[in-house]
Amino acid sequence: MDWFVGVLSLLCCFVLYYRHLQSKKTCKEEPTEWPLLGHLFGMIADLRRPDYHDWATVVLAGTRYNFPAHAGLTGVRYFVTCDPSNVRHIFTSNFLNYPKGEEFGQIFDVLGNGIFNADGESWQRQRAKSQLLMAGPRFRVFSARCGRDKIGLPVVPFARAMDDVLATVILRHIIPPACWRLMYRYELGPEKKMAVARRTIDQFAADMIAKRKSEHNLCGESVSESSDMLSSFISNGDASDEFLRDTAVNLLLAGRDTTGTALSWFFYLLCKNPRVEQRILDELAPIAATKMLATANDMVVFDVGELSNIVYLHAALCECLRLYPPVPFLHKAAAAGDVLPSGHEMKAGDKILIYSYSMGRMEGVWGMDCMELRPERWLADDRKLRYEPSYKFMAFNAGPRTCLGKEVAFTQMKVVAAAVLWNFAVEAVPGHVVEPKLSIILHMKNGFAVALKRRNFPSVHG
């Protein structure tokens, strides 16, 4: 009987202690802070939540946009934020004190020394080079089949490998480095997928580089700078294979998943907001009318120039990127101690996770109707686009490291969205569950199943 009383007393102590830990929380949803382990256990356990991004948003709303956490004895300190004043400080005013950090390069080792991992001089050099290339009239990373797997089509190994990397990297942001490195070394758990994916990506890039090189050797200068980015670097003759590999993989990641993901969420939101869809169609109607005269009953495809003054579609895309930013959180590290505008103290080496997904859903930042798709919030009285600072709308990052492909991305998204919407009614398949996948890109877990119905214009849009 004595052992029973002992166990019962221990259990009571544990319950009382647990209640004490719960009472210390600012927000009841936040991870519990345990002795020795800190928040680590809770943070890893919470990664299993199917609604992870929404849960993080509730925590950040409950903790007034900032949540400092730590991993106990491992000494790792995290600072999770979606506070615009902190973002402005970290990404712009005190930019030099907040690099990506060495650890980011290790977490995202698949990107090698490419622009996403680079800091300081190497980043400046790569940014200048990429800017030049992307300003070219025929910018392409390289042409190859590297898109996402489609239902019923054969698996694309590179696309699958990239998805595996992106899903595993999120764990590496939370798990202490010594643990995931050990798992990677012995190819254990999620790190097994990472090791396999890494080999697939390396092979894909090596094949592409070898192909371009042999084309260059056959045709000499005539393969030329204009064909794609890889060929352009190869014909310059001063790039190592490692540089070519890293640049290609970085730019493929930058442009492949982001725009595609944004468009998936865009069509998803329009299915739920027919009013917005109709206003886009009304805006396209005058342009389409002139084209339809020329093309009779063929599909209407809009040119880049024709869409340059289209503001409502642009505003609707911004609204979609606010609610579903393709990069839902960003990573920084503090180089030296600092105090953030929110009053939180940073120590050298602190990991900072900036939740852009949550920032887009904060009432204090976007107003009481922040959960609604309302493109009008992006329009000024004169029906021109309203400027929103990037520390508040950070889908494309903020400060000196703002996305280099922002304009390209808007152009691509507008052309695709306009053509699909004008020619087809996009209807969500009833019963298909749409939810974000836990990854550093906001992919849809089960994709977005739709039925496309050819619109019967001109009668539909008048």
Binding site for ligand HEM (CB under 6 A): 115-116, 127, 130, 251, 254-255, 258-259, 262, 326-327, 330, 395-397, 401, 403-405, 408-409
Give dist(CA 2, CA 5) in Å, integer. Answer: 5
- Length of the chain measured in residues: 462
Please check whether residue 69 is in contact with residue 38, taking contact to mean a CB–CB distance below 8 angstroms.
yes
Nearer to ligand HEM, 284 or 394 (CB): 394
Nearer to ligand HEM, 31 or 227 (CB): 227
Nearer to ligand HEM, 397 or 425 (CB): 397
Task: Tell the smallest beta-carbon distance from residue 242 to ligand HEM (Å).
Answer: 18
Task: Tell the smallest beta-carbon distance from residue 359 to ligand HEM (Å).
Answer: 12
How many Cβ atoms are within 10 Å of 437's Cβ, its own excluded?
Answer: 19
Nearer to ligand HEM, 124 or 217 (CB): 124
Please check whether residue 439 is in contact with residue 432, taking contact to mean a CB–CB distance below 8 angstroms.
no
Nearer to ligand HEM, 196 or 415 (CB): 415
Nearer to ligand HEM, 354 or 362 (CB): 354
Beta strand ranges found along 350-417 (DSSP E): 351-355
Nearer to ligand HEM, 130 or 168 (CB): 130
Give dist(CA 89, CA 374) in Å, integer. Answer: 29
* C-alpha closest to that of 393 among 441, 341, 326, 322: 322
Closest-approach residue to ligand HEM (CB): 405
Task: Tell the smallest beta-carbon distance from residue 269 to ligand HEM (Å).
Answer: 14
DSSP 8-state class, residue 354: E
Count how many Cα atoms sit within 13 Å of the Cα of residue 152 in the half-sphere of its side chain: 1
Give dist(CA 149, CA 191) in Å, integer. Answer: 22
Nearer to ligand HEM, 183 or 354 (CB): 354
* C-alpha closest to that of 343 among 93, 108, 145, 89: 89
Task: Tell the smallest beta-carbon distance from residue 152 to ligand HEM (Å).
Answer: 26
How do strand 351-355 and strand 77-81 relate by DSSP bridges?
parallel
Residues 6+ apart with CB under 8 A from 353: 78, 79, 80, 81, 173, 329, 330, 331
Nearer to ligand HEM, 74 or 92 (CB): 92
Residue where the block lists tokens 């005013």: 93
Task: Tell the smallest beta-carbon distance from residue 11 to ligand HEM (Å).
Answer: 46
Task: Tell the smallest beta-carbon distance from residue 127 to ligand HEM (Å).
Answer: 5
Task: Tell the smallest beta-carbon distance from residue 167 to ligand HEM (Å).
Answer: 16
Answer whether the bond into residue 458 is a cis peptide, omega within 30°.
Answer: yes
Task: Tell the smallest beta-carbon distance from residue 60 to ligand HEM (Å).
Answer: 18
* C-alpha closest to that of 39 among 87, 80, 86, 100: 80
Task: Tell the smallest beta-carbon distance from residue 253 to ligand HEM (Å).
Answer: 9
Nearer to ligand HEM, 35 or 120 (CB): 120
How do strand 77-81 and strand 66-70 relate by DSSP bridges?
antiparallel
Task: Tell the smallest beta-carbon distance from residue 402 to ligand HEM (Å).
Answer: 7
Give dist(CA 69, CA 75) in Å, integer. Answer: 11
| Helix, strand, coil in percent for the chain, rounding step 5 | 55, 10, 35
Residues 6+ apart with CB under 8 A from 368: none
